[in-house]
Amino acid sequence: MKSLFSAGILLLLFAGINASAQDDFNEAFRKISTEVLESSKAYANLKFATENIGHRLTGSDHGAKAEEYAFKLLKSYGYEVRYQPFEVESWSRLTNETYVGDAENALNKITSVTLAHSPVKADITAELADLGNGLEADYVSDSGKVKGKIALVYLGILPGSPEGTQLLHRSEKAAIATKYGAVGIIIINTVKSGVLLTGTASVTGKLIQIPAVCIGLENGMRIKEKLKEQKQFARLNMTNFSGLIKARNVIATLRGSAIPQEKIVVGGHLDSWDLATGAIDNGIGAFAVIDMARTLKVLNLPVKRNIEFVLFMGEEQGLLGSKAYVNAAKHTAVLDQVKFMLNYDMTNDPKGFSASRKEMKDLFMSWGSQISKLDTGFKNIFFSGAWMHSDHQPFMLQGIPIGGGTGGQLPNNSAPYYHSDGDVFKLVDELGLKNTVRYGTMLAYALATAPSLPVSRQNEATLKTFLQENNLEVPLKIAGEWRW
């Protein structure tokens, strides 16, 4: 009875503390909302970057200009800003020709784009082998017939595939093709009207052994049909550049008053591919993060924990900037300071919050209910799970809780232009971008100001189980990042 009474008193006290904190958040959230809606600079800053810098490929002159632009913006907002330099094996395309036909001496040129980290030079002609979705099971059922051939693989999951078919990244599909002896790989895009996309074909960020290209959906499906009737051959002829070049993450710090030994990392990748200007991937994320920093500085809202706003470079080429950040934190013994990592990669107009840890649900939804009162467009959705292939991944693999916005949609039907030559500024929606800034700023502020957080860094055993429960063991093994 005594223990029940004591527990009840503690619950009441905790509820009182939480209520007081939530009251404070109500006012802070209102100020954040007003400031962003009236004075956000994200849209204008992104427009300037796309018009004056162009693409933001890591290791290029354009990439260096983007780093300098982000640094100067954050400095102008009154921040302590620093560069975090790292060496990156930079890759860029030079020449590319792809031919397909019924016979080795009668090939027709088709439009294609080289996938990043393909060899510096390659010129191969070989028979094509249709490997369907490009999963390991497809190669096993092929009975080794792909060896010495060029694998033809669908980027996503083919219509009619069994329910539950696993979706792998293009880099993982290239790694499997290499493992089974393919001498090249042609990946079919999933988007109609001949849209081509680039992206890395490497799970490590290093050069791969075989040439890899992407072709349009219509061409790819036509070739698949011809393969049912007779053999098809392909020639992949390309030259590329690769070499060590220095790149820099850009880091701005908002100092916490009460628990400065703890930090919340708010990140988004600044780099983009070179086919267009990366307005959606990841201009809307990177410039939202910069404006989150501006908003908190303008409002001068006190926080308990430090917030580090990080613009990562090298994400597109293998999460190189975020890996450099995490490795540096490990070597300087400050990784335990990171209590939560928020990642904004192609986030637009979120309707709720996501977290890798389900324990965050009550807290996130309590904050979300505050936001819903300010704006009924925020639906207070909560998503819990684990995923890969963006800058949260190196943090997650160290057991650090990660999350961000969820439930939004990309603006102006921009999803098909991901990684393509159509990723341009006209696709950006100003209000959607402002909403990313508003809700992201509120979440970062709340995480940095809450008296305590219900999650901590996972130990190795717990992390292993967590990754297995989220079906990440296979893709992590393919990537060479499964350490258990």
Q: What pLDDT digit, counting tens, does each position of 81-115 carry?
A: 999 999 877 788 999 999 999 988 889 999 999 99
pLDDT in tens, 455-468: 999 999 999 999 99
Examine the domain organization and report whether 271 and 401 are in the same domain.
Answer: yes
pLDDT of residue 16: 40
Residue 19 lies in a domain: no
Bridge partners for 125 per DSSP: 235
pLDDT of residue 313: 97
Q: Classify each residue of 457-475 as buried b or exposed e, where b means 16 or more C-beta atoms within 10 Å of its C-beta.
A: ebeeeebbebbeeeebeeb
Residue 484 lies in a domain: no
Examine the domain organization and report whether 43 and 115 are in the same domain.
Answer: no
Last residue in a domain, options 241, 260, 292: 241
Examine the domain organization and report whether 82 and 125 are in the same domain.
Answer: no
What single DSSP character describes residue 479? T
Last residue in a domain, options 241, 269, 290: 241
How far is residue 406's CA from residue 283's CA, in Å, rounded to a whole number?
17
Examine the domain organization and report whether 221 and 303 are in the same domain.
Answer: no
- Residue keyed to tokens 């904190």: 21
Tokens of 150: 């060029």
Examine the domain organization and report whether 220 and 332 are in the same domain.
Answer: no
Question: Angle of helix 284-299 relative to helix 430-449, nearest 10 degrees?
Answer: 50
Examine the domain organization and report whether 267 and 319 are in the same domain.
Answer: yes
How far is residue 249's CA from residue 286's CA, in Å, rounded to a whole number?
12
Examine the domain organization and report whether 290 and 204 are in the same domain.
Answer: no
Looking up residue 155, the CATH number of its domain turns out to be 3.50.30.30
Task: Say yes or no to pLDDT of 23 above 90.
Answer: no
pLDDT in tens, 286-339: 999 999 999 999 999 999 999 999 999 999 988 999 999 999 999 988 999 999
User: What three-state secondary structure class fits 124?
Assistant: strand
Residue 10 lies in a domain: no
Examine the domain organization and report whether 313 and 400 are in the same domain.
Answer: yes
pLDDT of residue 78: 98
Residue 59 lies in a domain: yes
DSSP assignment of 424-460: -GGG--HHHHHHHHHHHHHHHHHHHHSS--S-----H
pLDDT of residue 14: 41
Q: Which helix (H) or strand (E) holds 155?
A: none
Residue 326 lies in a domain: yes
Examine the domain organization and report whether 317 and 437 are in the same domain.
Answer: yes
User: What three-state secondary structure class fits 403?
Assistant: strand
How far is residue 467's CA from residue 416's CA, in Å, rounded to a whole number?
29
Examine the domain organization and report whether 184 and 286 are in the same domain.
Answer: no
The answer to whether 269 and 286 are in contact (CB under 8 A) is: yes
Mean pLDDT on 46-53: 98
Examine the domain organization and report whether 52 and 189 are in the same domain.
Answer: no
Tokens of 401: 């809780």
Into how many domains does the chain fold? 2
Last residue in a domain, options 194, 225, 241: 241
Residue 463 lies in a domain: yes
Tokens of 342: 């928020």
pLDDT class of 24 with cuts at 50, 70, 90? low
Looking up residue 67, the CATH number of its domain turns out to be 3.40.630.10
Position 377, amino acid: G
Residue 18 lies in a domain: no
Examine the domain organization and report whether 420 and 461 are in the same domain.
Answer: yes
Query: Range of 107's domain?
Result: 94-241
Residue 37 lies in a domain: yes
